[in-house]
Amino acid sequence: MVGVKEGAFEVARDHIDTWTRTGCPYCGVGCGLLVGTRDNAIVKVRGDLQHPSSFGDLCPKAVHLNKVIQTPDRLAFPLLRLRRDAAFVRASWDSALFYLTTRFRAILDRHGPEAVAFYGSGQLLTEEYYVANKLMKGFLGANNFDTNSRLCMASAVTGYNISLGSDGPPLAYTDLDCADFFFIIGANTAHCYPIIHRRMMRRKQQHPDTVRVIVVDPRRTETAEIANLYVPIKPGTDIALLNAMLHVVIAEKLVDEAFVQQHTEGWGAVKTLVQRYSPAYAEAICEVPGALITAIARDFAHALGAISVWSMGINQSTEGVHKNNALINLHLATGQIGKPGAGPFSLTGQPNAMGGREVGGLSHLLPGYRSVTNPTHRAEIARIWGVPVDAIAARPGYTAVELFEALDTGTLKAVWILATNPAVSMPELDLVERALRKAELVVVQDAYHPTDTSAFADVLLPAAQWSEKEGTMTNSERRITYLPKILEPPGEALPDWQIFTRFAQAMGFGASFPYTTAEEVYEEFKQCTKGRRNDITGVSYARLKQGPLQWPCPSPDSPGTERLYTDKTFATLTGKAQFIETPYEGAREHPDASYPVILTTGRVKNHWHTMTRTGKVEIFNRRTPEPFVEINTEDAAYLDIQDADFVEVLSKRGKLIARAQVTEKIVRGTCFVPFHWGRRSGVFNAANNLTLKAYDPVSQQPELKFAAVTIKKVMVDLLT
């Protein structure tokens, strides 16, 4: 329902002409918002009581959205420069597209389709993802379309695929209202998913005697305040803990034998594997007392409904996929899946990372949860796109880290970056900057300029952003929300789907890119999901304007699907869920005498990703004005570091300088640095100066949560 006038009182108080329903553009919780506007400007944002994911709740990031849309650094016109050391000059869309088609054709002619790549973002709308993905994979001839979801959810995608047969979180937020055991591991829900957090907190407050919350994290974050038990764990050792919990479940005969027999495969091998993970064995690895491991495992198995909640602390790891599999193993062994209030629930960092997964927005995927390596899948999508089957390459394209490595080695010549800021968010920023400098052509399509990444561009394309374009997003519970166009974008900024449509037409593919509206794109994308796990053929803009829907929703009269796998039939070929062997191997980089401390990175409350938006909100900047280094009290004493001292953190890749925050809330031998700041704010402000590009061998998600570093105090006068 768009353009809802909500009463004279509101109009008088806030001088608001129109209230419009939409979704939040920040995190994957996907809250519903009411946006009050006047004279093409947002005056106020509040929660939408009717949105079934959030029921009117929202967090400060959404409240302050009015401050981040119409800002002086909006990119309003295409900008070009013929040399990197020259200033940008304004160009018309026609001349920018002419320049781009000329450069792309020359590179494709000289080096072939593997020489060009798109690098996107979970902030794109589903329609935008779809058009860019179709253009690259069906028409430019390579699968080089990857996104920053590779840094965020790739391990969860792969974990679900391997264990359950398909991507897609099985639960709904309503499950949070009936679970009696929350196992939160590797997620700071209080800061990063506040509305989910509040929902778990409410459940706990309403049933203090029966609902238990366990929080496992190397840092005692605000999330732990709702916990019955906070479990400090040595970073990177989650698999040892999870395998030991399964060991206890078996030893104490808490296995749901009927579920395992009827609905799973691979149990024997996993049972054998976890024999050696006694609580005592695991304690020596993860530093969680064995008695505690036993108690948590018992609670998990005995719960009427156990939900495990995780995000980047599990996914951003060289063992990220196995960590996902180990968690799902626990759910399968105890039958804690496919029933109300039970199951594995990965939380998504970005607002539409889920939509991106649905359209195949990673370099190994095709729309409708298909794979580029599967010939049947390629044939199905080729038919919808109207291209010969061999137009879609069988080889996965470059993943995020590979993409920047390929630019660095010169294999990849051109990159088109849209709605993301890899010069802050990628690991090993030296590599990223070197790669962008070496690239023959860098196109940056964004709402803002300058950013850390736009500094490397040859061409800047102005993108309309949230509230300035229409489209859809899917949140962490598979719920699709329609986002209307509320404001006019600045200058000549265009929706991303339109920019790619115009580029495709200029490249000569106009017959396959005839779109004049986002809805036309959506209608085509829907056909790609027919009969698939994420079937949305029953969803339409008209239905979504009445309210959000959860997929699968395979017919116009389907109400959508709250929870997956309720019939215990999984998406595998046999219909049975798969137990996966998950031996603990540990992080790729080990602390040693030179780099004895483990660095873990993450977010702070109210800043989001690379701060291109939240960095414009004064109150957020006042609260957290600069990066900091969280250090354990005993470590700080040993290093003669006091709270607020400046410290230098050094890894084999680079260094960071920031003030110390000395605290008992982080485990000994570990430090924490938020990753929001890039080098533009100060060359030694960037946490990703320190991180490493190592990644999970299957999901290729980089290890952003574990690097070996050394810390020393720096005298202030040396800095000035």
Binding site for ligand SF4 (CB under 6 A): 24, 26-27, 29-31, 58-59, 61-62, 193-195
**Distant-in-sequence, close-in-space partners of 209: CB < 8 Å, separation ≥ 6:** none
Residue (195 or 239) nearer to ligand SF4, CB = 195
Query: Are 515 and 521 a contacting pair, CB within 8 Å?
Result: yes
The per-residue b/e assignment along 24-55, b for 16 or more CB within 10 angstroms, e otherwise, is bbbbbbbbbbbbbbeeeebbbbbbbeebbbbe
Distances (CA, A) of 278 to 4, 92, 216, 275, 476: 59, 66, 19, 7, 34
Using DSSP, state whether 719 is helix, strand or coil.
helix
Residue (145 or 193) nearer to ligand SF4, CB = 193
Q: How far is the CB of 192 from ligand SF4 (least distance, A)?
A: 8
Q: How far is the CB of 194 from ligand SF4 (least distance, A)?
A: 5
Residue (74 or 191) nearer to ligand SF4, CB = 191
Q: How far is the CB of 23 from ligand SF4 (least distance, A)?
A: 8
The single-letter DSSP state of residue 182 is E
Whole-angstrom distance, CA of residue 400 vs CA of residue 362: 9
Q: How far is the CB of 25 from ligand SF4 (least distance, A)?
A: 7
Q: How far is the CB of 475 from ligand SF4 (least distance, A)?
A: 7
**Distant-in-sequence, close-in-space partners of 287: CB < 8 Å, separation ≥ 6:** 232, 233, 234, 237, 667
Residue type at 347 in one-letter notation = L
Whole-angstrom distance, CA of residue 199 vs CA of residue 488: 35
Beta partners for residue 119, in sequence order? 146, 417
What are the helix (H) ranges across 335-368? 353-358
Residue (30 or 367) nearer to ligand SF4, CB = 30
Residue (43 or 683) nearer to ligand SF4, CB = 43
Q: How far is the CB of 29 from ligand SF4 (least distance, A)?
A: 4
Residue (23 or 702) nearer to ligand SF4, CB = 23
Q: How far is the CB of 63 from ligand SF4 (least distance, A)?
A: 8
Q: How far is the CB of 198 from ligand SF4 (least distance, A)?
A: 9
Whole-angstrom distance, CA of residue 668 vs CA of residue 634: 7
**Distant-in-sequence, close-in-space partners of 364: CB < 8 Å, separation ≥ 6:** 143, 371, 372, 373, 396, 397, 399
Residue (190 or 656) nearer to ligand SF4, CB = 190
Can you list the pairs that 615-619 forms with residues at least 24 positions away whose Cβ atoms lie under 8 Å?
Answer: 615/676, 616/67, 616/68, 616/71, 617/64, 617/67, 617/68, 618/67, 619/60, 619/64
Residue (193 or 369) nearer to ligand SF4, CB = 193
Q: How far is the CB of 60 from ligand SF4 (least distance, A)?
A: 8
Q: How far is the CB of 329 from ligand SF4 (least distance, A)?
A: 30
Q: The sheet that has 471-474: what strands, in order across it?
A: 471-474, 479-483, 549-550
Q: How far is the CB of 67 from ligand SF4 (least distance, A)?
A: 14
Going by their DSSP bridges, the two strands 471-474 and 89-90 should be labelled as unpaired
Residue (403 or 483) nearer to ligand SF4, CB = 483
Residue (56 or 669) nearer to ligand SF4, CB = 56
Q: How far is the CB of 197 from ligand SF4 (least distance, A)?
A: 9
| φ/ψ (deg, to 5) at 180 | -120, 5
The per-residue b/e assignment along 625-653, b for 16 or more CB within 10 angstroms, e otherwise, is eebbbbbbeebbeebebeeebbbbbbbeb
Beta partners for residue 446, in sequence order? 462
Residue (113 or 548) nearer to ligand SF4, CB = 548
Residue (166 or 475) nearer to ligand SF4, CB = 475
The single-letter DSSP state of residue 136 is I
Residue (30 or 313) nearer to ligand SF4, CB = 30
The per-residue b/e assignment along 131-150, b for 16 or more CB within 10 angstroms, e otherwise, is bbbbbbbbbbbbbbbbbbbb
Whole-angstrom distance, CA of residue 642 vs CA of residue 497: 51
Dihedral in degrees, nearest 10, Cα atoms 456, 459, 462, 466:
-50
Query: Are 699 and 679 a contacting pair, CB within 8 Å?
Result: no
Q: How far is the CB of 45 from ligand SF4 (least distance, A)?
A: 9
Whole-angstrom distance, CA of residue 607 vs CA of residue 620: 7
For the chain, first and last CA: distance in Å?
56
